[in-house]
Amino acid sequence: MPGPGDTIRKLYFGRDDAEHDLADGLLREGFLSTAAYEAVLSGRKILVIGRKGVGKSAICMRLSLDGVGGGRSGSTVLITPDDAAGDEIRRFELQGLTPDTAKSLIWRYVFAVHAARHVITHARARHGRRLPASVRALRKFLRANGEEGEARLYDRLVSGTRGLQTALSLEAFGVKASLDVSGSSEGARATAQLDVLETGVARALSALDCAETHGPLLVLVDQLEQVWSNDPDSKAMVTGLLLAGKHVAGAYGKALRCVLFLRADIYDSLEFSDGDKYRGDEIRVEWTPDELKELALTRASVSLGRRLASAELWGQVFPERTEGLPTAEYLFSRSLPRPRDTIQYLNLCRDKATERGHTTIGADDIALATRQFSEWKLQDVAREYLVNYPFLSRIFALFQNTGYVVMRPALASRFEEHREALHTRFPDYTDTLTVDGVIDVLFGVNFLGVRRGSEVVHTGGARIPVEPHDTEFHIHPCFRPALNALNSTELRPYNPLQRAHAFGGDSLPPATVAQGSVINADFVVGRRRDFTLAQSLIDSCERIRRQLGRADLPAEAAYEISVQVGRVVDDASHLLDQLRYGNGQDVVSHLVGATNYLNTLAVQLVENGVDGGEDVRSVVRRIQDETRRLGREIGGGSNSA
């Protein structure tokens, strides 16, 4: 029977990236089959889109495994361009063709050569020594064009660009030297040559009848973000890939299928005329909290070598509740909805527990992990979008030490203070560095959510853009600890004042108090003004709270304001009790302190992001009106008998 420390020692949720996760084994045994994976495996979808860390590469790696003995009977080819390969594609151009179309040809060449090599290897292994003439022709083509041996993608691209820009050797297909297309452009000649090559590959695939017998060849293209520069050539490179991937289905039928894995921000930045033709091919990888919870349970079970019940993971290994919430809900609401974040966060909780010698993960371990995880993610999101939005880390600074609820006018005021410096530092992004542009970017990277009705909507399933009438924004809980934005609005809490202003002793003589006696009426009359001032403070606070109830404030901010004003009321009520029992109190000093606090509260509502709209300003005006009235009462005379 394992000891209590064995579970936490063995507990592990996997590696951050799919390649290492595959090597460690958790991707093999701990992979959670999702709708996105099933759609790609079945062939219904060929374009997988998602944010960094949502599991695109995990699907890609799993498909690669399934293609060589898993759920599919076909083979796979994995293409992941490096910097050299990316530079070669970006530089490639052909006279007479648009950049998108030219780059689609080099991708088509790469796919055709990979398919040709696969056909030859597969034919030898599965179809005997007597090869069809079409297969022998492919072997001759590869030998004549220097593509027969193993080669890096970069070398294959260099060979392809040279051949398409000059002439491929097509004698293997019965075409002498180069195609003679009289008066044609460079692009037209390259297209004609590529058509001959693709026809030859298709003929060989058909002769072997592999699509029906063994399943299609699956070409997987991943990690395009490694060679992305957010410039016109990069956009043409990715658009060309999309065009080539779509072309494959028509050129090779069911014998070859190309699956592309693209980061969402890259795909969404593309603008090309045929974009609407890809809607039926694309699938967005998105995760629900329940799916992430199941992923965590699956991986924990694999690491421990036994199937855990959900109640064991979220009630014994982890505490059942954290800060009043079910622990799973607490954790998954404080991370972005993607497997990489889940894996990192849960591993970090486990690490904090083991560092402190704990045999289970406690709420204090989770608190330490949450702070560090938030700092990681704030840095990671800036790095993730460094190419597209190099200014992100500077924008995040606008939210440091503030409330997590921000109204549009307050955000505009903050931004205006830094606009000139941002435009000077990032002159190429002045069109984006506007209030509306910054809000769109922050919403798009999931840093800000927008209040719509009773819900705060973050990017993900809906992907509804920010509208001009959207005015209330919330920092995602993932980033709040790193920014010290833990409350809805950064309000200084009210500290009780009355105990600091006693001048006549803390209480009545013990005997009098013990008998529960109330000071006689003559004494109360002598302190009438003190009673009036204390009651005026309570009445003013109640009017502020009624105004608060009528105003359309963010619910979280309204609650926090109400709590603080309520503490002022409670303290004033305690002051009245002290007066009734004859305890000497410096009531004027108490009211001055409370009035100053309420004035500060109004200022903070404006400065910390809550001020934005007539309803909010009505609360600020009410506070200011009440503090002025209290000030007049305080200055209205001295104590009278």
- Using pLDDT thresholds of 50, 70 and 90, give the confidence band for residue 525: very low
Residue of higher predicted confidence among 353 and 584: 353
CA dist 177 → 166, 169, 174, 224 (Å)? 11, 6, 9, 35
C-alpha closest to that of 157 among 197, 110, 195, 220: 110
Average confidence score pLDDT of the chain: 84
- Tell me if residue 451 falls in helix, strand or coil: strand
Q: What is the reported pLDDT for 484?
A: 93
Closest by alpha carbon to 538, among 488, 498, 480? 498
Among the ranges 75-84, 374-383, 577-586, which has the highest mean pLDDT value? 374-383
Q: Using an 8 Å Cβ cutoff, are 147 and 113 in contact? A: yes
Q: How confident is the model at residue 584 (pLDDT cuts 50, 70, 90)?
A: low
- pTM confidence score: 0.79
| Backbone φ and ψ of 286, nearest 5° | -140, 150
- Got the DSSP string for 133-156? HHHHHHHHHHHHTT-SS---HHHH
Contact 453, 415 (CB under 8 A): no
Window from 118-132, 231-245, 266-280, 525-539 with minimum mean pLDDT: 118-132
Would you say 293 and 8 are in contact if contact means Cβ atoms under 8 Å apart?
Answer: no
Question: Under 8 Å CB-to-CB from 39, ≥6 apart: which residues?
Answer: 45, 283
Contact 377, 478 (CB under 8 A): yes
Q: Spell out the domains of the chain, with CATH numbers in brackets.
A: 4-16+288-384 (no CATH), 35-284 (no CATH), 403-412+420-483 (no CATH), 498-634 (1.20.120)
301-335 residue pLDDT tens: 999 999 999 999 999 999 999 999 999 999 999 99
* Helix, strand, coil content of the chain in percent (nearest 5): 60, 5, 30
Q: Across residues 114-139, what is the average pLDDT?
A: 83
Read off the pLDDT of residues 5-24 as tens digits, 9 standing for 90 and up.
678 999 999 888 777 777 66
pLDDT at 409: 83
Q: Is 519 exposed, middle or buried (0-12, 13-18, 19+ CB in 10 A)?
A: middle
Convert the pLDDT of each residue in 229-285 to its tens digit. 989 999 999 999 999 999 988 899 888 889 999 999 899 889 877 777 888 899 999
Tell me the torsion sign for CA atoms 522, 527, 532, 534. negative
The answer for residues whose C-beta is within 8 angstroms of residue 460's C-beta and 6 or more apart is: 286, 337, 446
Report d(CA 553, CA 106) in Å as an integer: 56
pLDDT of residue 523: 46
Averaged pLDDT, 558-572: 90
Separation CA 155–CA 637 (nearest Å): 93
Confidence of residue 510 (pLDDT cuts 50, 70, 90): very low
Q: 302-306, 549-553, 633-637: which has the highest mean pLDDT?
A: 302-306
- Given a cut of 50, whether residue 500 has pLDDT beyond it is no
The model's pLDDT over 195-237, given as tens digits with 9 standing for 90+, comes to 999 999 999 888 887 666 667 889 999 999 999 998 999 999 9
Q: What band does 527 get if pLDDT is binned at 50, 70 and 90?
A: low
pLDDT at 183 over 80: no
% pLDDT > 90, the chain: 46
**Residues 107 and 239: beta-carbon distance below 8 Å:** no
- How many alpha carbons fall within 13 Å on the CB side of residue 150? 0
Q: Which of the four pLDDT bands, split at 50, 70 and 90, describes residue 358?
A: very high
Amino acid at 71: G
| Position 493 confidence tier, pLDDT thresholds 50, 70, 90 | confident
pLDDT at 472: 87
Query: 371 to each of 89, 196, 332, 368, 399, how far by Cα in Å?
Result: 42, 60, 14, 6, 16
Q: Is pLDDT larger for residue 597 or for residue 501?
A: 597
pLDDT at 441: 94
- Does pLDDT of 638 surpass 70? no
Say if residue 371's pLDDT is above 90. yes
Tokens at 430, concatenated:
């002045």
Mean local confidence (pLDDT), 139-152: 85
Residue 311, SS3 per DSSP = helix
Residue 185 confidence (pLDDT): 84
CA 258, 263, 266, 268 torsion: positive or negative?
Answer: positive
Summary count for the chain: helices (H), strands (E)? 28, 11
Measured distance between the N- and C-terminal CA atoms of the chain, rounded to whole angstroms: 80
Residues 71-96: pLDDT tens digits?
A: 445 688 899 998 989 999 999 999 99
> Both tokens of residue 429?
């992004």
For 468, which DSSP code? T
| pLDDT band for position 512 (cuts 50, 70, 90) | very low
3-state secondary structure of 97: coil
Give residues with Cβ within 8 angstroms of 17, minimum separation 6: 57, 340
pLDDT of residue 375: 97
Higher-scoring residue by pLDDT: 214, 137: 137
Residue 2 pLDDT > 70, yes or no? Answer: no
What is the pLDDT, as a whole number, of residue 74?
Answer: 65
Nearest to 529 by CA among 594, 585, 569: 585
Residue 561 CA to residue 46 CA, distance in Å, equals: 51
Q: What is the pLDDT of residue 438?
A: 96
More confident residue, 573 or 67: 573
| pLDDT for 182 | 53
The span from the CA of 521 to the CA of 169, in Å, is 114
Express each pLDDT in 39-74 by its tens digit.
988 888 999 999 988 999 989 988 887 654 444 456
Closest CA to 444 of 385, 530, 358, 516: 385
Angle in degrees, 0-180, between the axes of helices 56-66 and 35-42, rounded to the nearest 10: 40
